[in-house]
Amino acid sequence: MAIKIGILGYGNLGRGVECAIRQNPDTELAAVFTRRAPASLKIQTQSAKVASVDEIQNWTDKIDVLIVCGGSATDLPKQSPKYAKLFNLIDSFDTHAKIPEHFANVDKSAKEGGKVAIISVGWDPGMFSLNRLYANAILTEGKDYTFWGKGVSQGHSDAIRRVEGVQDGKQYTIPVDSALKAVRAGENPELTTRQKHTRECFVVLKEGADAAKVEKEIKNMPNYFSDYDTTVHFISQEELDKNHSGIPHGGIVLRSGSTNGGKNKHIIEYSLKLDSNPEFTSCVLLAYARAAYRLSKEGASGCKTVFDIAPAYLSAKSGEELRATML
Amino acid sequence: MAIKIGILGYGNLGRGVECAIRQNPDTELAAVFTRRAPASLKIQTQSAKVASVDEIQNWTDKIDVLIVCGGSATDLPKQSPKYAKLFNLIDSFDTHAKIPEHFANVDKSAKEGGKVAIISVGWDPGMFSLNRLYANAILTEGKDYTFWGKGVSQGHSDAIRRVEGVQDGKQYTIPVDSALKAVRAGENPELTTRQKHTRECFVVLKEGADAAKVEKEIKNMPNYFSDYDTTVHFISQEELDKNHSGIPHGGIVLRSGSTNGGKNKHIIEYSLKLDSNPEFTSCVLLAYARAAYRLSKEGASGCKTVFDIAPAYLSAKSGEELRATML
């Protein structure tokens, strides 16, 4: 029998999970929960229901795992602790500094309900974190590097759009090639923020807006752009829609380490190149939903992260099959 | 108190484990077991004993984990099942086709003794296997590629040295750059053996040997070279010793997959670039020794592989530290 998945929130991520379920025949979409009027939502899966989040507590015996697809700023800190006592639960909480607090809140709730929750699932945090851990456990002497991009940063794109005179905009984060090369060569460079990434902005101006003023304001924006070499291109809305409507992303995690008193150097590198950031993230969420379901069946409860999940739990294949085909 | 490690077999791998222990203060080397005369063995660790393998059963309460550093052809199939009932045990069994059989033998023995054994640890099988599993669980529609090198293949170097007229030799396995590029570009090529790797041989001839004959014999050797584009360079023993005495290796695991009915493509890539194959492998073995020790303390027993071990068990850091610093 397929694992019954519930999706809470039907934005890019929720739609991505629905899409991932179609690629995983051991899972099925039971329901999508929304804060909007359910009738206003069109989903792709005919067999699944759309329900108001206010009725979610009626679904506890019809859903094996709830995947919470809200944002980390305001949604997940409330939703995950609230629902982890009712459902096995997956979220993609990505505010790195607040993970310990979020973990504690979700853990308390999940233990209360006897459920399994896995938080901060995705690629960073998620697959990148895993690779940092594995690489650090193996090469205990060394240096870590994470590069992001080339890809669209939603936060930086939002920041551009808040600038006066801007009609629309997209921002790409781009790793600096020379920095990456130095790391790959085992040079262990010390890299400042500016030396690791550049930021490229594509901006559509409102009619009559002052391009020079907009460019200056973007480039000097603290936290977002002032610490980076930023390029601003002004283009038409048509051009933006045509060439920049995707949500690609990716990045690279490296550990440059040594053995035998520094005599021998080793580089471990993990990279992702993604046409669709939310669709890939959704695939990771669904694999961990499978793990949460299995762990729950084994009697586990409480909050976990990707660090706590044995890899075999993620695959639909049996241990025997995995050993015979992938080891 | 440090985890007490025993090493069985003091070749490249055994020496590598000793070296890794010095980088991991939560572990200590208790003893090296050898089939040679113990007095003939010089080890680096003053506090550790050298003992005959015939006395290994006297060490069951003085060693937490035994790392078996023998070869996969004849040593490990006997040693691991034999000692898994006496010790928590790690091996690097790498004959992919025989893993299911080896697993069954070790599992029986480990369960009998109430011990934890983790087999086929290293980078392939090992870290590469893990990356195949993670990538397949995430991108369920896609294609896998593994490239090896640039690096020294011990098996192929041995094969060269068995050719009549050859005094010494080293063989490098090299991934074909154009094949790698096609995979990275998401072209999902079908690649033959010859299209994925080339083989480069550095050969020292015995006096009076016929170079043309040796080259022909190498290039036509079935299984080892006949399916590859092979280059043979004849050099002096001095040159070989000076430029080819290292044991570098590495490789790349890729999965090229798609989501949303093939609309969006994604590439997951994991690569290793290693100055010393045995020293890196040893670091992986030691991290899994830590995991075996902890699992055993929790009451687990039986044979496991890297697929069954939650990543957090590999790190000396606590779950709390890991979440705060690496997630």
pLDDT digits 0-9 by tens, A173-205: 999 999 999 999 999 999 998 999 999 999 999
Chain A residues inside the 8 Å CB shell of B125: 327
Q: How far is A323 from chain B (nearest CA, A)?
A: 7
**Angle value at C-alpha B13, between B9 and B17, nearest 5 degrees:** 95
Chain A residues inside the 8 Å CB shell of B275: 263-266
Find, among B238, B218, B237, the residue nearest to B228 by Cα: B218
Do the Cβ atoms of B274 and A266 come within 8 Å?
A: yes
Beta bridge partners of A272: A251, B268
- Which among B130, B275, B327 is the nearest to A99, CB-wise? B327
pLDDT digits 0-9 by tens, A41-89: 999 999 999 999 999 999 999 999 999 999 999 999 999 999 999 999 9
Contact B165, B213 (CB under 8 A): yes
Do the Cβ atoms of B284 and A138 come within 8 Å?
A: yes
- Over range B272-287, report the average pLDDT: 98
- Which among A19, A129, A259 is the nearest to B259, CB-wise? A19
Total beta-carbon pairs less than 8 A apart between chain A and chain B:
208
- Over range B247-266, report the average pLDDT: 97
For testing contact with chain B, the best of A12, A307, A315, A317 (most B CBs within 10 A): A307
- Which among B99, B268, B322 is the nearest to A323, CB-wise? B99
Token output for A116: 């399994």
Chain A residues inside the 8 Å CB shell of B287: 137-138
Do the Cβ atoms of B269 and A264 come within 8 Å?
A: no
Kindly report the pTM of this predicted structure. 0.96
Q: Is the pLDDT of residue A256 over 90?
A: yes
Find, among B62, B101, B75, the residue nearest to B8 by Cα: B75
Q: How far is B273 from chain A (nearest CA, A)?
A: 5
C-alpha span between A91 and A69 (Å, rounded): 7
**Residue A67 pLDDT:** 98
Do the Cβ atoms of B99 and A327 come within 8 Å?
A: yes
Closest residue of chain B to A249, computed from CA coordinates: B266
Q: Sorting pLDDT into bands at 50, 70 and 90, what band is A1?
A: confident
Do the Cβ atoms of A326 and B272 come within 8 Å?
A: no
> What integer best gives the mean pLDDT of chain B?
97
> What integer best gives the mean pLDDT of chain A?
97
- Over range A150-174, report the average pLDDT: 95
Q: How far is A237 from chain B (nearest CA, A)?
A: 23
Chain B residues inside the 8 Å CB shell of A327: 96, 99, 120, 125, 129, 305-307
**Residue A193 pLDDT:** 85
Chain B residues inside the 8 Å CB shell of A323: 99-100, 103, 305, 307
pLDDT digits 0-9 by tens, B202-225: 999 999 999 999 999 999 999 899
**Angle value at C-alpha B132, between B129 and B133, nearest 5 degrees:** 90
Q: How many CB atoms lie within 10 A of CB B298?
A: 9
**Residue A195 pLDDT:** 94
**Residue B116 pLDDT:** 98
**Residue A310 pLDDT:** 98
pLDDT digits 0-9 by tens, B145-170: 999 999 999 889 999 999 999 999 99
- Over range B121-150, report the average pLDDT: 97
H-helix segments, chain B? 12-22, 75-83, 99-113, 127-138, 154-161, 177-184, 193-196, 211-219, 237-243, 277-297, 319-325
pLDDT digits 0-9 by tens, A79-122: 999 999 999 999 999 999 999 999 999 999 999 999 999 999 99
Q: Sorting pLDDT into bands at 50, 70 and 90, what band is B190?
A: very high
Q: Sorting pLDDT into bands at 50, 70 and 90, what band is A273?
A: very high
Do the Cβ atoms of A308 and B312 come within 8 Å?
A: yes
Q: How far is A324 from chain B (nearest CA, A)?
A: 6
C-alpha span between B248 and A267 (Å, rounded): 12
Do the Cβ atoms of A307 and B310 come within 8 Å?
A: yes
Q: How far is A314 from chain B (nearest CA, A)?
A: 6
**Residue B193 pLDDT:** 85
pLDDT digits 0-9 by tens, B6-57: 999 999 999 999 999 999 999 999 999 999 999 999 999 999 999 999 999 9
Q: Sorting pLDDT into bands at 50, 70 and 90, what band is B1?
A: confident
C-alpha span between A212 and A203 (Å, rounded): 12
**Residue A271 pLDDT:** 98
Do the Cβ atoms of B260 and A267 come within 8 Å?
A: no
- Which among A23, A314, A316 is the nearest to B134, CB-wise? A314
Do the Cβ atoms of A307 and B319 come within 8 Å?
A: yes
C-alpha span between B44 and B61 (Å, rounded): 23
pLDDT digits 0-9 by tens, B68-113: 999 999 999 999 999 999 999 999 999 999 999 999 999 999 999 9
Find, among B110, B14, B4, B7, the residue nearest to B63 by Cα: B4
Chain A residues inside the 8 Å CB shell of B100: 320, 323-324
Q: Is the pLDDT of residue A144 over 90?
A: yes
C-alpha span between B118 and B168 (Å, rounded): 36
**Residue B321 pLDDT:** 97
C-alpha span between A198 and A172 (Å, rounded): 8
Contact A204, A155 (CB under 8 A): no
Do the Cβ atoms of B314 and A134 come within 8 Å?
A: yes
- Over range A122-147, report the average pLDDT: 98
**Residue A56 pLDDT:** 98
- Which among A267, A271, A311 is the nearest to B307, CB-wise? A311
C-alpha span between B218 and B196 (Å, rounded): 19
DSSP string of A37-104? -GGG---S-TTSEEEEGGGGGGGTTT-SEEEE---TTTHHHHHHHHHTTTSEEE-----GGGHHHHHH
C-alpha span between B6 and B28 (Å, rounded): 9
